[in-house]
């Protein structure tokens, strides 16, 4: 039996979906993660940071970052919309805290738009 656990950030992103979409999304993460993560020749993009190996799974317009925590357990760290600043910072390994990623919100873009005026 495999176990898939989620960070607070991941759960918050899942909560934005309706129940059917949540089940479908979790099923996709689980299927891909359990097959690929930790295999001898994974086809998923991966990188290391702070001694952890992160795998990136693309699902629709989201990027999901997971880590294998034991032989039968995977932890979902982040679910990020693709082509966003937070996704770029995480993928390119720039130092970024979870708080900084959460700050990435529509209000930030509204602020930038207000500077144009």
All domains in the chain, ordered by first residue: 3-116 (3.30.2310.20)
pLDDT for res 99: 53
Residue 83, by phi and psi: left (phi above 0), alpha (psi -120 to 50) or beta? Answer: left
What's the whole-number mean pLDDT along residues 3-22?
Answer: 91
Dihedral sign, CA of 52, 8, 107, 17?
A: positive
| 74 vs 39 pLDDT, higher one | 74
Q: Are 65 and 80 in contact (CB under 8 A)?
A: yes
pLDDT in tens, 70-91: 878 889 999 998 888 778 777 7
Q: Which residue has the higher pLDDT, 83 or 98?
A: 83
Asked whether the whole model's pTM tops 0.85, one would answer no
Element (H, E) at 27: helix 19-36
pLDDT at position 1? 46
pLDDT at 15: 93
Rg of the chain on CA atoms, in Å: 15
Mean pLDDT of 101-112: 60
Write the secondary structure of 46-61 as one string of H (helix), E (strand) and C (coil): EEEECCEEEEEEEECC
**How many helices (H) and strands (E) are present in the chain, helices listed first?**
5, 5
Q: Give how far Cα 3 sits from Cα of 47, 81, 93, 115, Å.
A: 22, 24, 27, 46
Mean pLDDT, the chain, rounded, equals 80
Instruction: In whole angstroms, give the CA distance from residue 63 to residue 57.
Output: 6
pLDDT above 90 (res 3) = no
pLDDT value at position 88? Answer: 79
């Amino acid at each position: 039996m495999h176990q898939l656990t989620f960070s607070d950030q991941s759960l918050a992103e899942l909560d934005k979906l309706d129940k059917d979409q949540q089940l479908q999304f979790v099923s996709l993460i689980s299927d891909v993660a359990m097959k690929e993560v930790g295999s001898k020749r994974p086809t998923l993009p991966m990188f290391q940071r702070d001694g952890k190996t992160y795998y990136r799974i693309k699902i629709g317009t989201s990027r999901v970052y997971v880590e294998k925590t034991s032989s039968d357990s995977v932890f979902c760290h982040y679910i990020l919309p693709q082509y966003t600043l937070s996704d770029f910072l995480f993928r390119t390994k720039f130092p970024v805290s979870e708080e900084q990623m959460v700050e990435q919100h529509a209000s930030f873009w509204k602020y930038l738009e207000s500077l144009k005026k």
